[in-house]
Structure formats: C-alpha cells, structure tokens
Structure 1
Amino acid sequence: MTETPKLALDHVAKRFGSNQVLRDVTLSVAPGESLAIIGGSGSGKSVMLKCILGLVEPDAGTIRVDGEDMTAMRAADRERIRTKFGMLFQGGALFDSLPVWRNVTFSLTQGRMLRKREMRDIARENLERVNLGGDVLDLYPAELSGGMQKRVALARAIAPRPEIIFFDEPTTGLDPIRASVINDLIVELVEDLGVTAVTITHDMKSARRVAHRVAMLYEGEIIWTGPVDTLDDCGNPHVERFVKGVAQPAE
C-alpha cells in the first residue's frame, strides 16, 4: 500500500498580472522526510511557499496535506490544517516588543498573557532544544545576536509541535559558523521530533546538510528531484550549473 504524502502539490499554477510565476508545480514530501527546494531568485520559491501556507490562492492545481485538499476547503477547515504547520521565517520575524519567552510561546497564546509560569516553562524547554539557556527568557530580540535570534525563532516554530516545518532561507545573513549551527539544529529537530521539513534555500551547503532529497524550481516548474547525494551528477544541466554556481550561458 502506497503511503499518503504528508504534503503534495499537483499542477499548481499562479499568475500575477502578465507574470506567470508558477507554471505547473508538481511535488510531494513523505512523512518524516526533509526536502530542500533550491532555485535562483525569481524562480517562484517564495510564491510556492505562500500558496502552501494559504497566504496566496493558486490559480490552478491542488495542495494536499495528509491527503486533504486545502484548495477546496472552507476557511475553518483550512485553519485546522494550518495548525499542523510551523514556520521559520527568513528574517526570524520576532516581535521586538515581546521578551523571548513570549515570542517562543506566541502561537500557543495568540499573544495574550496566559498561564505565565506554564508558558515560561514551555519556552525554556524549547529554547533548550536549540541550545539556548533560561538566561535569555526575559531578554528582548534587540539584545540578541543574529544567530541567537534565529534560534529563538526556531524555538518558536517548534513550540506547538507542528507536523510540518517550513524553513525559509534559514541561513541567510549568518556567518558560516552560525549557519552551520542552524543547519545542525534543523537536522536534530527533524530526527528528534519526527517532523516533515521543507527548506527553501539557495545555500547549497545548507541543502546538502539538512535534506534527504532536493527539488529544483526553475522558471515556475519543478525540473528535477532526487536524493541529495546525486546533486553533482544528476544529469540535469540547469541543476548542475546552479549547484556549481555557473552562470547560464547566453543565448
């Protein structure tokens, strides 16, 4: 019996005016799999992610989570599906006016001051998972380094124990050492929590470290998918040029 994909996109398309951003995206992610989606600027990665999250409505195609089609759902059912999602935004997107512990537990309280002692304990537990101590609980984002902010954002993403976590350019803006820390944490969280992970990235070191499988989005279509260890000899010239950082030849 074939296992139902945790996430499946089937012929998804999205246009903004005359700009056809997504042409025909078909892609699936198995439960517990870590998939990296690579592609250059303007290839449609961010729009695809917004479609999955329900922030943008696709013009065509289906997006299924555990076999349920989000594109055909009522708003209430869509919200139920979204509770399965965790998200690490590219810039961290922490709330500057809230201390770390309230940032980490924000999705559990919707920003309200509820069960302070319990929420602080939950925050502490999740911060420990990303190798931060209780000494940062009452600090504000501006008091943290960029790498620490990213780890707090990661703690916030896992606090509700999502089934699928999306990582949007998780190493952007970090030096190689801090980027390596974030990559290692993503691997540990996928293994320890058993979540499904989808990482949008142009950082090939990150893709090689965190992913079981890689998909390339090119001109609005998935042009190749395969195990991460086949990237260098996949046989697709667009993928090989991207991986090696070689410019597209002039036509």
Structure 2
Amino acid sequence: MSAAPDKPRRGAALEIAGLRKSFGDKIVLDGVNIGALPGESLVIIGGSGAGKSVLLKCILGLIPLDTGTILIDGVDMSEAGGDAREEVRNRIGMLFQGGALFDSMNVWRNVTFALTQGRARQSREMRALAVEMLEKVGLEERVADLRPSEISGGMQKRVALARAIAAGPDLIFFDEPTTGLDPIRANKINHLIRGLTTDLGCTAVTITHDMASAKIIGDKVAMLHEGRIVWTGPVDQLDRSGNELVDGFVHGRAS
C-alpha cells in the first residue's frame, strides 16, 4: 500500500437514517438522522450518556443496530456482504480516545499496523512510510524507533493520529481527540486534525464534548441529546443556535 496521497481527494459520504439502539429496556439511540457530505467535517457534541460512543460503535460496526441504516458511499453497512463491508472499512481511519497504541511495538510499527496487521513485512518501506506520517504530525524521525511508553501523552496522541491517516482514508473518525491533554496541547491537536483532514480531502466525524475542538475541527455540528439529534447547523452558528439545549451545553449552563 502507498502513503496518503499528496493531493486532496473526494471523501466518502456518510448517511445515517432512523438509527435506533437499545440495551434491554434502556433506549440509547432513538431515531438518529445525521450525515456528512464528501470532504465535510462533522462534529457530534453532547453530554455524558447522550449516546455518542454508542453511535460511533454502531457506525463502525462494533455493535449491531436495532433498526435504521448506515450508508457509506451508498453501501448499507448493516446489510452489505463481507467483501463489500471490508472494502469500505479499509477506507476508514480511526483515532481512539486513549490513543490505543500497542506498548509491545515501537512507534513506526504502531503507525503502520493497519497496513501490516502487525506482521513483520516490508519493514524498510513501512518504516519510511511511518516516518513520513510522523513528519505530517510534527514528530521527528527519531521518535519512530521509540516505544509509546518512552514518549509524552501529547506525542502519543500525535502518533495515534499518524496511524489514523497512514492508509490515506476517505473517512476518518475522531473519538474525543483532546481527552487528557492540557489546553495548549489540545489546541495544537485540534489545528493539526483540521489541517490534515483538509489536506487529505477526507470526510471527518468527530465525537467530542470540547467546544474548542468543535469550533476548530468542524464544518457542521450536530447535538445528540437523550438519543436524538436535537440540532444541526454550520459551526459558525453554534453560539447562536436558537436551541436552548445547545446554548446550555455550549455555555455550560444547566438545563
């Protein structure tokens, strides 16, 4: 596989319609309708327990949905056969909340894990690709041979971001990308994500409760509340949404 392309390209379209998910008697997602256009950056905000993480797991196919559809470039991920589903999944990148780096592997093997499945193959080419990706996130080549435990939390987040973009995804998900970072490092990660997704031309979906992240990363923002999307709009309307739930969340006021 080759590195992410140098020129922007068309991202994948995401469309979610009527998505419902319950665990026993508890309804977590109650008819979610949301989408992202190719190349668009969608940010989903909401408080703890709103259903953000469950929504992300449903989109990624980690848990089955009860009803509804999740279309990626027109492919229904709940109905597609194994080959079609795997083809779409190969076009997806993911930045996990905690980074989820493998402590047993050095940094460059972590970055290229999706391309090698952890196997020792094409080592010279894979290391060169990893170094290229690390440079894109502002890390020096020397970091490539270190273990995750030997670098700071902010650097680990950058390594995880390098891994997420290594295969040149058309669609990339960010799960609380600034969790555990101080405001200065968080701001750098936000701007880095924004720049990289723009350069790649990919579609981005970010789950966050951090308003600074939402305003920097997003083109469009949707608020999830008690399992439903209660507001969707351009990021520049976030501070004047006209929705009491959104205003309360954005400005930290109890509803």
TM-score by length of 1: 0.96
Write the letter of the residue equivalent to 2:47: G
Q: Distance in 1 between matches of 2:216 and 2:163?
A: 22
Q: Match for residue 143 of structure 1? A: 150
Superposition deviation, residue 75 in structure 1: 2.5
Q: Match for residue 245 of structure 1? A: 252
Q: Distance in 1 between matches of 2:17 and 2:221?
A: 17
Q: Is the 8 A contact 2:95 2:174 kept in 1?
A: yes
Q: Is the 8 A contact 1:212 1:228 kept in 2?
A: yes
Superposition deviation, residue 5 in structure 1: 7.1
Q: Match for residue 32 of structure 1? A: 39
Q: Distance in 2 between matches of 1:231 and 1:189?
A: 23
Identity of aligned residues (%): 62
64-73 vs 149-158, which moves further = 64-73
Write the letter of the residue equivalent to 1:73: A
Q: Distance in 1 between matches of 2:144 and 2:47?
A: 37
Structure 1 vs Structure 2 CA RMSD: 1.3
Q: Match for residue 211 of structure 1? A: 218
Q: Match for residue 188 of structure 1? A: 195
1:130-188 deviations in Å (ceiling 9; x for gaps): 00010101100000100000000000000011101100000010001100110011111
Q: Is the 8 A contact 1:87 1:165 kept in 2?
A: yes
67-76 vs 191-200, which moves further = 67-76
Q: Which has the higher contact order (CA 8 A, sep 6+)?
A: 2
1:45-78 deviations in Å (ceiling 9; x for gaps): 0000001000011000000001111111122321
Q: Match for residue 25 of structure 2? A: 18
Match of 1:125 among 120, 132, 135: 132
Q: Distance in 2 between matches of 1:129 and 1:179?
A: 17
Where do 5+ consecutive residues of structure 2 fail to align? 1-10
Q: Is the 8 A contact 1:5 1:28 kept in 2?
A: no
Q: Match for residue 166 of structure 1? A: 173
Match of 2:104 among 97, 111, 130: 97
